Structure 1
Amino acid sequence: MSDYIKVPHLIEERSFEMITEELGDKTFPEEIGKIIKRVIHTTADFQYADITIISPTAIEFAKKALKAGAHIVTDTKMAMAGINKKRLESYGGEVNCFISDEDVAKAAKEKGTTRAMAAMEKAIMDEKNKIFVIGNAPTALFKLKQFIEEGKVKPDLVIGVPVGFVGAAESKEEFEKLDVPYIVTRGRKGGSTVAAAIVNAIMYML
């Protein structure tokens, strides 16, 4: 253990080795595997190997968008905090979270909606926001779906991994029906840390 304390990066390297070993015969294409293994590394939950669904163009579109300086929108401050902003900024991108903005709170109150929904409405006003990362609020995902169907926004990637019991699974199921690049987790599991891990896994591929 002393070697790991002296060289902290060895802990992560060994963790990924153990994840690969425990997955056994369950293998994935290289880039998909990198995402799934980072999520497992973040959660210590191997069920993500079965419930993480990645659309065919998701990784390709996301990498192109990030290299072009796309901005990322998250539904929580926690997801925003977990994203490697230094690496993102090196490509000209930034992370935005509008959930605590005064105008968002005001709009939500006036319209009788959630802040998460109002935040998505604000997010689509800036065409630089090309990657949407939802780890907590199913209502944000439902609202984003509405905007996509109305032609108001065309994301390069939607990461839809809200966690919870009410609406979480259903919101993710709806996204699998849309013609947009997506990464979702089926069922109730997910969360802001999972969302951030997926973003970071893609950025580390660049």
Structure 2
Amino acid sequence: MTADFILDPGQIESESMKIIRAGLTRPWLDTDLPVVERIIHTTGDPSLESAIAIHPEAIACGLQALKQGATVITDVEMVRAGISKEKLKSLGGTVECFLNTPGVPEQAKAWGITRSMTAFRMNAEGLKGSIVAIGNAPTALLEVLRLAENPETRPALIVGIPVGFIGAKESKDLLWEHQEFPSITVLGTRGGSPIAATVVNALIYTVLKQK
């Protein structure tokens, strides 16, 4: 039965990427392709291509940040779990998620905002020069955009891909309106933690290939 299936992991990935690239309909820059291909590969959804939005400076800023050992900060543990930590560590970087930091629930209640917003606000000083990866919480993306207004708390790159029907589309639209901030997103309601993580991984793999 298995004779009809490709079983080698490397060949499976290679053949998958060939199929994805052959089906692309937009004139992507070569530098954007690793991110576009990984998003489609992770979701198995070629139609997602039309919703992918990559700021003209996003890839260069993300790669430069990783080369300088940037911290990746995520909104939820699921995004953090999906990032290649050992490969990131080899570049001098780490990945952090502050959502479950002691004191966050109490402070969120005191401020009257979500825990995901609170986690970023309480750790704002760590955002400067980082890569922020948001795959779940639209409110976290709104808070990051607010903090990014200050050069002292501005990330090098915002990967903003929250999913859902309440605030997700609107928060990503707002992100894309702020063209002063390099960003990568998937417009509309689609998104999620696996996509946010795979974008970061695509950037990590690109840096490692350039070494």
TM-score, with structure 2 as normaliser: 0.91
Work out the CA distance in 1 between the residues paired with 2:185 and 2:169: 10
Q: In structure 2, what is the equivalent of residue 4 of structure 1?
A: 6
Is the CA contact 1:159–1:184 (under 8 Å) kept in the aligned structure 2?
yes
Q: Which runs of 5+ in 1 are unaligned?
A: none
Work out the CA distance in 2 between the residues paired with 1:127 and 1:81: 19
CA deviation after TM superposition for structure 1 residue 27, in Å: 4.0
Alignment of 1:1-206 (within 5 A): 2=3, 4-5=6-7, 7-23=8-24, 25-126=25-126, 130-178=130-178, 179-206=180-207
Runs of 4+, deviation exceeding 3 Å? 1-4
RMSD: 1.6
Is the CA contact 2:162–2:168 (under 8 Å) kept in the aligned structure 1?
yes
CA deviation after TM superposition for structure 1 residue 102, in Å: 1.8
Q: Spell out, residue by residue over 1:91-143, the C-alpha distance to the aligned partner (whole angstroms, 9 max, x if none).
A: 11000001112221221122121110011113322256611111110000111
Work out the CA distance in 1 between the residues paired with 2:122 and 2:91: 23
Work out the CA distance in 1 between the residues paired with 2:90 and 2:171: 33
Q: Which runs of 5+ in 2 are unaligned?
A: none
Is the CA contact 2:133–2:159 (under 8 Å) kept in the aligned structure 1?
yes
% identical equivalent positions: 38
Partner SS state of residue 113, structure 2: coil
Work out the CA distance in 2 between the residues paired with 1:4 and 1:98: 41
Work out the CA distance in 1 between the residues paired with 2:167 and 2:89: 33
Count residues with an aligned counterpart. Answer: 204
Work out the CA distance in 2 between the residues paired with 1:92 and 1:52: 29
CA deviation after TM superposition for structure 1 residue 12, in Å: 1.0
CA deviation after TM superposition for structure 1 residue 151, in Å: 4.4
Q: Compared with structure 1, are the counterparts of its residues 150 and 69 closer, same or farther at alpha carbon in structure 2 (3 Å cutoff)?
A: closer
